Amino acid sequence: MRGLLVLLTVCVCVSACGGDHKDKVVKPDKDTPPAKLEAVVIEPVAPTVETGVRALPRFRDDPRRTVPLAYEWYVNGDRVAGVGKSLLPRERYRRGDRIRCRVRPDAGGRWIKSETVQVANAPPRFRSKPVAAFDVPGEFFHQVFAADPDNDSVTYRLISPLGRGIELDPDTGVIRWRIDNVPEAPPPPAVQPSGEEGMAVPVPLPDPPHPPLEEEQDFHIVRLVIEADDNHGGTSHHEILLDLRRGAEQVQVH
């Protein structure tokens, strides 16, 4: 009797735990269909040594799909050794190079080629630094510097204001300006009789040689605009806003 009771207990436990219950059988998942790679897009379409170059695969069945892929990069027709990922390192190309990529799934299949893109010129970039205090009357001295990503030589040019005696060395970026006094606002328009009693008309005066900033309307505020040119069509601009009453920099922006 005791042996029968033990056997019955074991059978009930196995059944309750779902050992052989047909409702607990898990059906295997269906096999995932193979990836259908349709195209490879290079971004950006006009890369520079600053932007980097990336290959973006496009799949026919699902644009967001991700599968292991093999990449081969070519620069000027030569395969780039040691690069098998979607990003081409910046040190592997330079301005003027022609770049393309081909991609296929790791599991095998047909190689898909991208269009060829050409590396464009990158303009110089100014590096901001504080402007030292200066006296008025006195001399304002400052040096601007722009680094070129393509390692081109940079030439500097003063855009505005012109005609105030501001000197800018085109090679070094050194600015010198002898300031004798703080500019004053021009006098109001003169008024003279028109010949009729009780009537007068304003007589416009010539424009001042150095008009103020339109947004400031303060003649003691001077904005210096400097251009950097890499001599390959790339330029950038730098602005320094000065308050001549305070003899110090107010704002410096690119």
What's the pLDDT tens digit per position in 25-45? 334 345 556 668 889 999 999
Rounded CA separation 239/216 (Å)? 15
Query: Which of 235, 150, 219 has the alpha carbon at shortest distance from 184?
Result: 219
The segment(s) of the chain belonging to CATH 2.60.40.2700 are 37-118
Residue 18: predicted pLDDT? 44
pTM for the model: 0.67
Rounded CA separation 117/45 (Å)? 6
Rounded CA separation 228/231 (Å)? 9
Residue 182: predicted pLDDT? 77
Question: Contact at 8 Å (CB) between 58 and 41?
Answer: yes
The segment(s) of the chain belonging to CATH 2.60.40.60 are 125-191+204-253
Amino acid at 182: V
Rounded CA separation 190/148 (Å)? 52
CATH number of the structural domain 125-191+204-253 = 2.60.40.60
Classified as helix, coil or strand, 138 is strand
Residue 248: predicted pLDDT? 52
CATH number of the structural domain 37-118 = 2.60.40.2700
Ranges under pLDDT 70 in the chain: 1-35, 62-65, 184-218, 247-254
The label of the residue with tokens 């081109």 reads 152
Contacts of 39 (CB under 8 A, 6+ apart): 57, 58, 112, 114
Residue 197: predicted pLDDT? 55
Long-range contacts of 83-91 (CB under 8 A, 24+ apart): 86/54, 86/55, 86/56, 86/57, 87/52, 87/53, 87/54, 87/55, 88/52, 88/53, 88/54, 88/55, 90/49, 90/50, 90/52
Residue 193: predicted pLDDT? 53
Residue 3: predicted pLDDT? 45
